[in-house]
Structure 1
Amino acid sequence: MISAMTPQSAPPVHPLASPFTTEAQPASTGGRRVGVLLSHGFTGQPASMRPWAEALAAMGYAVEVPRLPGHGTTWQDLNTYRWDDWYAELRAAHRRLVDRCDVVVLAGLSMGGALVLRLAADKPSATEVAGVVVVNPAVASKRLDVKLLPVLKHVVPSFPGIADDIKKPGVSEHGYTRTPLKAVHSMMQAWPGLVRDLPQVTAPLLYARSSVDHVVDESSEPLITSKVSSRDVTVLRLPESYHVATLDHDLPLLIEESAAFIARVTSD
């Protein structure tokens, strides 16, 4: 899908929203070129993933954190993009990693978790998707107003924002203060197809879930963990974090556990 924004009228990108990319250091990863693709969430931007990305890069992994279309600019800009646009950007970043690495692991936060699960369902190759890490992923919601989105999106352009659900004081993911309804409806329209195809996910899965999450409710966890076909599913609890756990108190735990997972699933 092509955005209605033209290059001349495109809004400026937030200073912290630049994509993050590093090269693999095989000497640090057992001689293999290991890539890790990280995807930020809806209304967020690469800044929400950067500390995690930098930690993995320091371990020798090739890391890609793309900026999904419409993110890191304005919520109005995001409202001109849809799920297929975000997925296309993620697939392109994945292809770049596959082309320069021996094996690739996927990871994502919130909507980013749903996107990497979609990619894992579409790419069953063990080298292209050696493992999947999801943090508070969203593939369902108990919110009643979700059923009204097909009408509401034509009446009001946005709802209050969902950014910065972070327990740690003084931390921001620099997300939007408003939630664009046409864009969020597109995301939710993709959920049923993804849930249907979750049995196609055969790669090892690390599922990280915050004990308190004010954005994504508990309905997604049983859907994902029970429907994937992988026989290697690990659930990691994050007791001191809210939704954006990638910037919260449990970040060190997430880094430690995800690094151990990546090392395990990419070993010869």
Structure 2
Amino acid sequence: MKPTVGCLVLHGFAGTTQDVLPLALALQKEGFPVECPTLEGHGLGRKGLTSSTRLDWLRSADEGYKRLSMRADEIIVIGFSMGGLLAVHLVNRYPARLLITVNTPFAYWDIKQAAGNLRSDFPVHSRRYLNSLVKIPVRSMLQFRRLLAETKPLLSGVSLPYVLLQSRLDDTVQSRSAELLAGSVAASAEPQIHWFDHSGHMIFHDADRDEAISCILAAVRRHASFPEPAKCNEEE
């Protein structure tokens, strides 16, 4: 019997599952079991986020992995933004068939790109930046920075196949993060970077959404394929 491959999809810092919902739905449509947990403290406003720490976020990801492992024999871990950092922790702790990170930080807040976005569409982007300042408590940002610092030393332990997606117009994560991440993992991971020229950070709700989802589906299908077991020769 062919093993079942499931996908764990992790959203980002101060976000919700809505940020990755188009991807999760596409994976489900393909027939893959999907687990898409809401990280502790997220989706509850500023007060909820303040009450949670990076350890709570890691525990949420950990519990999501364990729930999925009850429905799948093999697991592919997919992390968007900070969810990619959590994914790195998981693949260092548990077996996984493939790691995929999407717009995941190594270096964050691209000021130059942010300024360019403001010049191109001030009404849209200015509201988003102001909302972020109101939405994200300083305490939570410090927790995020500690998580990032604690994740970087773990990258050298990533030896499973690794696929990275990165938006070139990302102003939350510096686009060079993809190259820095790819250069920090073990050579056996054979990291592959896919670039997207027309989207910002929220790629699953931006111009490259369909292309990014197709890229992930192709990678998942490729790594979900198991070789057929060898058949024994029948005795005559």
Q: Report TM bin, short chain.
A: 0.7 to 0.9
Measured against aligned partners, the alpha-carbon deviations of 1:210-248 in whole angstroms (never above 9, x if no partner) come to: 011111113522331011114321111111110011211
Further displaced range: 214-223 or 55-64? 214-223
> 2: distance between equivalents of 1:143 and 1:241?
14
- Kindly indicate whether the alpha-carbon contact (under 8 Å) linking 1:40 and 1:108 is maintained by their aligned counterparts in 2: yes
TM-score with structure 2 setting the length: 0.81
Identify the residue that residue 85 of structure 1 maps to in structure 2: 56
Greater helix fraction, Structure 1 or Structure 2: 2
> 1: distance between equivalents of 2:148 and 2:39?
18
Further displaced range: 254-263 or 58-67? 254-263
Q: Could you say if the C-alpha distance between residues 228 and 75 of structure 1 is closer, same or farther in structure 2, counting changes exceeding 3 Å?
A: same
Alignment of 1:192-231 (within 5 A): 192-229=149-186, 230-231=188-189
* Post-superposition offset of 1:77: 1.6
Using the aligned pairs only, state the percent identity: 26
SS in 1 for 2:99: strand
* Post-superposition offset of 1:263: 1.4
* Post-superposition offset of 1:63: 0.6
Identify the residue that residue 4 of structure 1 maps to in structure 2: none
Identify the residue that residue 115 of structure 2 maps to in structure 1: none
SS in 1 for 2:189: coil
Alignment of 1:107-186 (within 5 A): 107-123=78-94, 125=95, 129-141=96-108, 177-186=134-143
> 1: distance between equivalents of 2:40 and 2:152?
23
Amino acid at match of 1:134: T
SS in 1 for 2:78: strand
* Post-superposition offset of 1:143: 7.6
- Kindly indicate whether the alpha-carbon contact (under 8 Å) linking 1:140 and 1:188 is maintained by their aligned counterparts in 2: no
Is 1:34 matched up with 2:5?
Answer: yes
> 2: distance between equivalents of 1:189 and 1:53?
28
Identify the residue that residue 14 of structure 1 maps to in structure 2: none
Amino acid at match of 1:197: L
- Kindly indicate whether the alpha-carbon contact (under 8 Å) linking 2:158 and 2:189 is maintained by their aligned counterparts in 1: no
* Post-superposition offset of 1:121: 2.2
Identify the residue that residue 232 of structure 1 maps to in structure 2: 190
* Post-superposition offset of 1:89: 0.5
Measured against aligned partners, the alpha-carbon deviations of 1:120-160 in whole angstroms (never above 9, x if no partner) come to: 1222x3xxx1101111101334789xxxxxxxxxxxxxxxx
Identify the residue that residue 234 of structure 2 maps to in structure 1: none
SS in 1 for 2:70: helix
For residue 256 of structure 1, the aligned residue among 195, 214, 225 is: 214
> 2: distance between equivalents of 1:201 and 1:231?
7
Amino acid at match of 1:181: V
Identify the residue that residue 117 of structure 2 maps to in structure 1: none
* Post-superposition offset of 1:43: 1.0
Alignment size in residue pairs: 208
- Kindly indicate whether the alpha-carbon contact (under 8 Å) linking 2:78 and 2:87 is maintained by their aligned counterparts in 1: yes
Is 1:246 matched up with 2:204?
Answer: yes
Is 1:267 matched up with 2:225?
Answer: yes
For residue 67 of structure 1, the aligned residue among 32, 38, 45 is: 38
SS in 2 for 1:139: coil
> 2: distance between equivalents of 1:93 and 1:69?
11
* Post-superposition offset of 1:193: 2.4
Identify the residue that residue 229 of structure 2 maps to in structure 1: none
Measured against aligned partners, the alpha-carbon deviations of 1:25-80 in whole angstroms (never above 9, x if no partner) come to: xxxxx943111011111111011111110011000000111011111111122011
